[in-house]
Structure 1
């Protein structure tokens, strides 16, 4: 692919920019707040939210303002939601497979996954990405009985303010490539849905570190997911 060929010549610049970005980018904490609970009234819905720092809510002040809190709040208007958050900063897809494989088995109706940014920055190959994504889907649908699996797309990383050019351009190309592979795979599984929240990670949608979602982004993302879940389950 063209961007891969360009990256070979740009390798010294990309490595230098990546090292500099890691050094100067502020490290925001995961927000405090509950990571499991129940809310709402009506038809029961068992919800799992899992993945990386975005799933964990980095960029928000509390879990109530993060993805989990916003999503549960929206779904509680339609369901009695029993929910659990299994997410932490730095998780790549291999880590998520390992974490879920080691977790106690329980049943969920819906699972929302946010993973991939750390695979883009960490250099996970396309072949490895597809292999692990297949394992992840099988694990959740077979071992955790998930009937509706929503896979969040990797954000267009070329827009991240924390990433200088050409590093942002290169990571944006890699994220788009992994997203296309995910979309192609998900379309063959009726239990899976590939979800693009539809916002650009800049301005009011990006946190102070220039890398993570801001509260407005979590609200937008959660509303988009809520519509998808309600449409399928109501």
Structure 2
């Protein structure tokens, strides 16, 4: 409630700052290179990554430096990873659902999502965001039947160098609200694992635009995600989740 009142009071300034940021922000391209491939040796693992510009590799030169390439590489020591990336700059949860309707419904063992920043910048109500995310998860289950979906936490937007104050504070608080909401939901859903963005809020880990991760931050992000997947895989393979993937096991 207090955050809403503060946003209303600051709305003229916040709008002006948002327009200026949009005008002066450095426009970086999505990373070049293949968006699918096979890497590593060991038991097969089908990996699919869905997301926005952070997943698309904005901020680095090639997909090998981006989340998809680094995650596949981090898993390749344990698995033969067949990976596929479906990510687009500017993507929201709602637009991603619409876009995925036109993609192949190939089976996947593991899904990784990286969405939320563009929903935060639109100040989408957190309950609306949760409903949209839940609908997206249902779509992913129906299309790809994954053993587990890993949700990347919303980055700490209150630390993004590009954003001036109080816009930075406002978006940071909204991102935190998204985090809290999704953590609670994921804790009650057996096939969801929420991976908080518990990475250093260090400007040196950001790309030159002050908004996207650089290669070093992508490495930390990929290693954390890979660690969760490797740790969980034995019980996922053995069918630990039982008959229903949507309800928490007792």
- The one-character-per-residue Cα deviations of 1:38-65 (angstroms, maximum 9, x if unpaired) are 0111110000011100010111111111
Distance 1:81 1:210 in 2: 32
Partner residue in 2 for 1:138: 138
Query: TM-score, normalization: structure 2?
Result: 0.91
Distance 2:104 2:208 in 1: 36
**Secondary structure of residue in 2 paired with 1:82:** strand
> 1:197–1:220: 8 Å Cα contact kept in structure 2?
no
The CA deviation at 1:143 is 2.4
Partner residue in 2 for 1:150: 150
When the two structures are aligned, how many residues end up with a matched partner? 234
Partner residue in 2 for 1:60: 60
- The one-character-per-residue Cα deviations of 1:198-222 (angstroms, maximum 9, x if unpaired) are 2134322111000000111000000
Partner residue in 1 for 2:185: 185
> 1:108–1:144: 8 Å Cα contact kept in structure 2?
yes
Partner residue in 2 for 1:115: 115
Distance 1:50 1:137 in 2: 11
Partner residue in 1 for 2:82: 82
> 1:70–1:219: 8 Å Cα contact kept in structure 2?
yes
Partner residue in 2 for 1:9: 9
> 1:153–1:196: 8 Å Cα contact kept in structure 2?
yes
> 1:155–1:201: 8 Å Cα contact kept in structure 2?
no
The CA deviation at 1:130 is 1.4
Is there any run of 5+ residues in structure 2 with no aligned partner, and where? 235-250
Is there any run of 5+ residues in structure 1 with no aligned partner, and where? none
**Secondary structure of residue in 2 paired with 1:146:** coil
Distance 2:146 2:213 in 1: 26
> 2:203–2:210: 8 Å Cα contact kept in structure 1?
no
Residues 201 and 56 of structure 1: CA distance in aligned 2, closer, same or farther (over 3 Å): farther
- The one-character-per-residue Cα deviations of 1:66-106 (angstroms, maximum 9, x if unpaired) are 10111001101000000100001000000111122332211
- The one-character-per-residue Cα deviations of 1:121-168 (angstroms, maximum 9, x if unpaired) are 112222321111111111112321011111011111010000000000
* RMSD of aligned alpha carbons: 1.0
Partner residue in 1 for 2:31: 31
Distance 1:197 1:169 in 2: 17
